[in-house]
Structures are given as C-alpha cells and as structure tokens.
Amino acid sequence: MTPSQPPLLAVQKLEAWYGRSHILQGIDLEVHAGEIVCLIGRNGAGKTTIMRSIMGLMGRTRGSVLFDGVSLLGLPPHRRFHQGLAYVFEERRIVPGLTVLENLRLGILASGRRAREQELIDEVAQTFPRLKERLAQVAVTMSGGEQQMLAIARAMVAHPKLVMLDEPSEGIMPVLVDEMFALFAAWKRAGKTLLLVEQNVELALSIADRAYIVDQGCIAHHAGAAELLADREIQERYCSV
C-alpha cells in the first residue's frame, strides 16, 4: 500500500435497510490495493450487510461507494463483478449436481475469460492441490472446507482487483482453516487485496493490515491489526459472544 495513493475501495456514509429496519448507520471505510482489511464484531453487528451493500445485493442503500475511482451506485451486482469486485458468500453457493470443474467453468464463463479456460484451471490446480484431485467429483459431496476452497477459487479465476470473503473459516476443520489463511497471507505477499469478515478474531488480525470493528451498524473502532490484536479489552468489549 502506498499511503499517497487513493484507496481502491472507498465507502462513505453508507446506510442500508432490510425492509423498515435501518441496519447500517453511516459506514466509512477504505481498502488500499495490496491490503488485507478485516471487519470484526459480534454476530448481527452488520458486517455481512456491509459486504452485501458494497456488492449491490441490498434492496435499499444510501451513501457513496467508489471502487477504483468509479462510483458503484446504481450498478447491479454483475456489473460490479466486471469492474473487478468479487464476493465469496458465507454459504458458498456451490451449484448442486455440477462437478468441481464445472463450477469453476461457470466462474470462468461469468468473467468472460473462456479463451483462457485451461490456463485458469491450471492456476487453480496449482493453488489448490485438493481441488486438483477432485475436478471430476460432484462438488457438493466434498467437505465443507473443500467447498469453501472451491468458492474462493471460482471467484479468483476472474482475477478480481478485490475479493470480499464472508466468514471463510465457518464450519471448517482447523487443518483446512490453517491452509486457507496461509494462502491468504501468501496472496497478501503477492499484492492481492482482500476484505475479510471473520469470527476468528485472532486469526484474522494475524494476517490483516488493518481492521474495522462493527457494532450495531456503525464503525465503533478502526486501528492497525497488530494494535487490535494486542488490545484484549477492546476485543472483549466488541467481539466476545
């Protein structure tokens, strides 16, 4: 990250509603190219709603979302995807009945990179050896952790400028969580940009550059990840169950 450069993602005064419920109360955050930024806080604080709003998945929002200098307001989710913004849902959304390879091909088709299909599949096989062994397997028969890897790989074949990951460690056995976060750390070293929602606060902060604490639809605190990792008091105040 070069501080003098404008952020890749700049969110200002973002508000969002579910029906009549006013969930986000004016969110300000930014992510610079090459950073890992995490959103932490208790369940129901509004973290996922922030991501859904950035991706254009909320019915009613207000505020400013600039991505790579372009306003995303009014753009549908698929247009935001083609701008270089990818979102990996907490529930993964693997397509039932399709193999691992077929799910990956859907991601490649959506990104408009069909001419590079084999190259992109080879990249996935190198990055995710577990998926390489299972390309012909029906995807939903894999373990939860392997399905999560597939969901991430399906997003990454588009070579997005920023990937938003919602609770990637949820329901996954520890050995796969360790593999996944080692991969995120490697991506950071390679200059990739991630916005991460994660309940495992210590793990998230161990690889992040900065973090925003979300509480009741507001940003309650913002600091460097190392500072927050050392601050047990603020973790207990905003992140403990």
Mean per-residue pLDDT, 25-45: 96
Of 195, 190, 200, give the one whose Cα is nearest residue 212. 195
Listing from the earlier edge strand, what are the strands of the sheet with 36-40? 85-88, 162-166, 194-197, 36-40, 210-215, 218-224
Asked if pLDDT for residue 182 goes beyond 60, the answer is yes
Q: Are residues 169 and 223 in the same domain?
A: yes
Cα(104)–Cα(58) distance, integer angstroms: 26
Q: Are residues 48 and 13 in the same domain?
A: yes
Q: Are residues 111 and 184 in the same domain?
A: no
Asked if pLDDT for residue 23 goes beyond 50, the answer is yes
Asked if pLDDT for residue 67 goes beyond 60, the answer is yes
Mean per-residue pLDDT, 151-178: 91
Which of 159, 190, 214 corresponds to the end of one domain?
159
Question: For residue 42, what is the domain's CATH number?
Answer: 3.40.50.300
Q: Structural domain tally of the chain?
A: 2
> Considering the chain, what is the average pLDDT of its residues?
92
- Cβ(194)–Cβ(211) below 8 Å: no
Query: What is the per-residue pLDDT for 4?
Result: 66
Query: What is the per-residue pLDDT for 3?
Result: 53
Q: Are residues 16 and 47 in the same domain?
A: yes
Q: Are residues 124 and 29 in the same domain?
A: no
Residue with tokens 């507001």: 218
CA 124 to chain CA mean position, Å:
18
Asked if pLDDT for residue 2 goes beyond 70, the answer is no
Residue with tokens 């750390």: 185
What distances in angstroms separate CA 6 from CA 9, 11, 50, 66, 73, one per listed residue?
A: 9, 12, 20, 10, 19
Q: Residue 122 corresponds to which tokens in the numbers above?
A: 């080879």
Mean per-residue pLDDT, 163-173: 91
- Cβ(98)–Cβ(139) below 8 Å: yes
- Of all residues in the chain, what percent carry a pLDDT higher than 90? 75
Asked if pLDDT for residue 92 goes beyond 90, the answer is no
Q: Are residues 167 and 48 in the same domain?
A: yes
Higher pLDDT, 48 or 113: 48
What one-character-per-residue DSSP string does 70-96 give? EE-TT--HHHHHHTTEEEE-TT--PPT
Host domain of residue 40: 1-84+163-241
Cα(162)–Cα(34) distance, integer angstroms: 9
Q: Are residues 178 and 205 in the same domain?
A: yes
pTM value?
Answer: 0.91
Query: What is the per-residue pLDDT for 241?
Result: 56
